Amino acid sequence: MIKLLIESFKAKDIRSRILFTLSILIVFRLGTKITVPGVNAAALQDLSSNSSLFSLLNTFGGGALDSYSIFALGVSPYITASIVVQLLQMDIIPKLAEWAKQGEVGRRKLNQVTRYLTVGLAFVQAIGISYGFNALTGSGLVLNPGTDTYLMIAVMLTAGTMLVMWLGEQITVKGFGNGISMIIFSGIIARVPSDLSGFYNSQIRNAGDEMAQAILFSVLIAIAFVAIVVTVVYVENAKRKIPVQYSKRSAGSGQDTHLPLKVNSAGVIPVIFASSFIMTPQTILGFFSASNADAQWFIILNKVFNLQEPIGAVIYTLLIVVFTYFYAFIQVNPEKVAENLQKQGGYIPSVRPGKPTQDFISTTLSQLSTVGAVYLGVIAILPILASNIWDLPQSVSLGGTSLLIVVGVALELMRQLEGQMSKKSYQGFIQ
pLDDT tier for residue 251 given thresholds of 50, 70 and 90: very low
- 120 and 31 part of one domain: yes
Q: Are residues 303 and 423 in the same domain?
A: yes
360-375 pLDDT per residue, tens: 999 999 999 999 999 8
Task: Give a yes or no: residue 129 inside a domain.
Answer: yes
- 263-308 tens-digit pLDDT: 888 887 888 788 878 888 887 887 777 677 788 888 888 888 887 7
CATH number for the domain spanning 82: value is 1.10.3370.10
Domain check: are 45 and 144 in the same one?
yes
Q: Do 304 and 185 share a structural domain?
A: no
Cα radius of gyration rounded to whole Å, the chain:
24
CA-CA distance, 144 to 96, in Å (whole number)? 43
Does one domain contain both 227 and 86? no
Distances (CA, A) of 184 to 46, 164, 268, 347, 394: 23, 10, 12, 40, 17
Pick the last residue of a domain from 192, 208, 241: 192
Looking at the structure, do residues 188 and 224 belong to the same domain, yes or no? Answer: no
Same domain, 71 and 167: yes
- Shared domain for 168 and 277, answered yes or no, is no
pLDDT above 70 as % of the chain: 90
Task: Identify whether 202 is part of a domain.
Answer: no
Q: How far apart are the first and last CA of the chain?
A: 27
For 179-218, the pLDDT digits (tens) are 888 888 888 888 877 777 777 776 666 666 677 777 887 7
Residues 249 and 113 in one domain: no
* 237 phi and psi angles, rounded to 5 deg: -95, -5
Q: pLDDT (tens digit, 9 = 90+) per residue, 99-153? A: 888 878 888 899 899 999 999 999 998 998 888 888 877 778 888 888 899 999 9
Read out DSSP for 322-356?
HHHHHHHHHHS-HHHHHHHHHHTTEE-TTS-TTHH
Residues 167 and 236 in one domain: no
pLDDT higher for 429 or 115?
115
Q: How many domains, in total, are found in the chain?
A: 2
Same domain, 259 and 405: yes
The answer to whether residue 238 is domain-embedded is yes
Contact 203, 217 (CB under 8 A): yes
Separation between Cα atoms, residue 194 and residue 405, nearest integer Å: 18
- Give the range of the structural domain holding residue 261, as residue numbers without chain letter: 220-431
Whole-angstrom Cα distance, residue 59 to residue 105? 34
Of the ranges 21-30, 137-146, 416-425, the best mean pLDDT one: 21-30
In a domain, 47, yes or no: yes
Q: Is the pLDDT of residue 397 over 50?
A: yes
206 is a domain residue: no
More confident residue, 337 or 56: 337
Q: Is the pLDDT of residue 400 over 80?
A: no
Mean pLDDT of the chain: 83
Residue 211 lies in a domain: no
Cβ-based neighbour number of residue 136 at 10 Å: 23
Answer yes or no: do 42 and 149 share one domain.
yes
Cβ–Cβ contacts within 10 Å for residue 366, how many? 13
Residue 252's pLDDT band, with cuts at 50, 70 and 90, is: very low
Q: Name the band, by pLDDT with cuts 50, 70 and 90, for residue 48.
A: low
- Write the single-letter amino acid at 378: V
Q: What is the DSSP letter of 209?
A: G
Q: Is residue 269 part of a domain?
A: yes
Q: What is the pLDDT of residues 158-173, one digit of tens each?
A: 999 999 999 999 999 8
Higher per-residue confidence, 137 vs 248: 137
Domain assignment present for residue 199? The answer is no
Measured distance CA(396)–CA(386) in Å, rounded: 8
- Cβ neighbours of residue 143 closer than 8 Å, sequence gap 6 or more: 38, 39, 40, 149
Alpha-carbon distance 61 to 165, whole Å?
Answer: 12
Q: How far is CA 50 from the centre of its chain?
A: 22
Task: Name the domain boundary from 141, 176, 192.
Answer: 192
